Structure 1
C-alpha cells in the first residue's frame, strides 16, 4: 500500500506530513515506556508482514495488520508504523522518504480510527470480541485504500481510474486481514490478556 515517490502533489505531501507529525507526537506522548518492547515487537511485525508486495499501478498491496496495531497500540501505532516505513524506505526503497508522511498517514490513521471504533468490544468476551477483531482487521485496510485512492485522485485526475482499482484490489486483503486479526486477538486474549491493555488511553 506504499505510494511511490513522484506521484503525489505537494499539497497532499504536506497534508500527509502534517497528520503524521501530529499523530506521531500524540503517539509518543501516550506510550507507556514499560511497554516499549511490545511496541517494538508490533513495529517489527508490521515491517515483516508488509515486505511481500504485489505491484498495482503507482502503488502496491500487501499485508498491513493496521487493525491489530490500532487495537493494541492506539495512537502509538503512528510512531510504530512511521519507524517501520522509514526502515523499509531506507533498506528496500519501498515508497520513499519524500512520501513517508503520506504513507504513514494512509496506514496509521485508519489504525487509530479502528481503535476508537472497536476497542471497547475487544474487552468483552465471546462473539462481540470476534466480530470487533474481524471488523478492525477488515476496516483498517479498507480505510487505508480509500485514503490512498483519495491521495492519488486529489494529486492528479489522471489517477482516478487507478484509485478505483486500488480500492477494488484490496477487497481480498481486507477479508484476509480481518481473519488474521481475529485469530491473533482471540489468541492473545487467552494466553496474555494484559497485551490488549497496552494502548488504553
Structure 2
C-alpha cells in the first residue's frame, strides 16, 4: 500500500509530505536538462507499468516500485519520475489519491534518492560483478523496506488506530524487497556490461 488513498492521513502529515515533495521536485527540475528528460520519462513509464501489477497480500497489496533503480540512474530526478507516474495512476485508474500525492511521492522517491546518493558511487566504481550486484540489491531492497517504514510512520502519525494495519503491511514489504533487490541487481548488472554510462545519474 505505497499508494495511500485520500481520506486517511491527517492534515499535518499531508502538508509535510507536500512540502518535502515540492522541495525535491524543485531541486530536480532545476538540474534537469534535455538529455535527462528521456531517461526520466523511460523510468517513469517503467514505474507506472510496474505499479499497475498488484499482488494481494493479507489486508494490503504490493507492487513493484523500482525506487532504488530510479535513485541510482536518476538521482533527485526520481522525484519527478515518481510524481508523474503517481499522477497518471490517480487520474486514470484511481490508485492512491490527489491529496496524498506529496506524501506518496516522498515515501517512494526519497528512499531511492538516498540509496542512489549513498550506494551509487560504489556501484559505479565496482570492478567485480558480484560486488556491484550486492550493492545494487541493497539499494533496491533497502529502498522498498524504507518505503514500508515511512508509510507505516505516516499512518501512525495520523492515528494510532492504524498501527495494527501498519504492522501487517510492513510484513508484506519483505517479499517485495527481495524481488526488488533481484530486479535492481539484474538491471544494473546488465547496464554495466552493455551501457556503463547509463549508471551515471542524470540529475544530481
> In which range does the TM-score fall when normalised by the shorter chain?
over 0.9
**Mapped partners of 2:195, 2:137: distance in 1:** 19
Give the match for residue 178 of structure 1: 181
Q: Is it true that 1:163 corresponds to 2:166 in the alignment?
A: yes
Deviation at 1:60, TM superposition (A): 3.5
CA contact (8 A) 1:4 1:59 kept: no
Give the match for residue 102 of structure 2: 101
Give the match for residue 192 of structure 1: 195
**Mapped partners of 1:76, 1:200: distance in 2:** 5
Deviation at 1:178, TM superposition (A): 0.1
Deviation at 1:128, TM superposition (A): 2.2
**TM, length-normalised to structure 1:** 0.95
Q: Is it true that 1:154 corresponds to 2:157 in the alignment?
A: yes
Q: Relative to structure 1, is the Cα distance of residues 101 and 141 closer, same or farther in structure 2, using a 3 angstrom cutoff?
A: same
**Structure 2: runs of 5 or more not aligned:** none
Aligned-partner SS, 1:3: coil
Calculate the aligned-residue CA RMSD, in Å: 1.5
Give the match for residue 46 of structure 2: 45
Q: Relative to structure 1, is the Cα distance of residues 197 and 146 closer, same or farther in structure 2, using a 3 angstrom cutoff?
A: same
**Structure 1: runs of 5 or more not aligned:** none
| Aligned residue pair count | 201
In the TM superposition, what whole-angstrom CA distance separates every residue of 1:28-85 from its partner, at most 9, and x where no partner exists?
A: 1122322211110000000001101235688632110100000100100001100100
**Mapped partners of 1:198, 1:159: distance in 2:** 37
**TM, length-normalised to structure 2:** 0.94
Deviation at 1:102, TM superposition (A): 0.7
CA contact (8 A) 1:81 1:108 kept: yes
Question: In the alignment, which of 118, 127, 131 is matched to residue 125 of structure 1?
Answer: 127
**Mapped partners of 2:156, 2:59: distance in 1:** 12
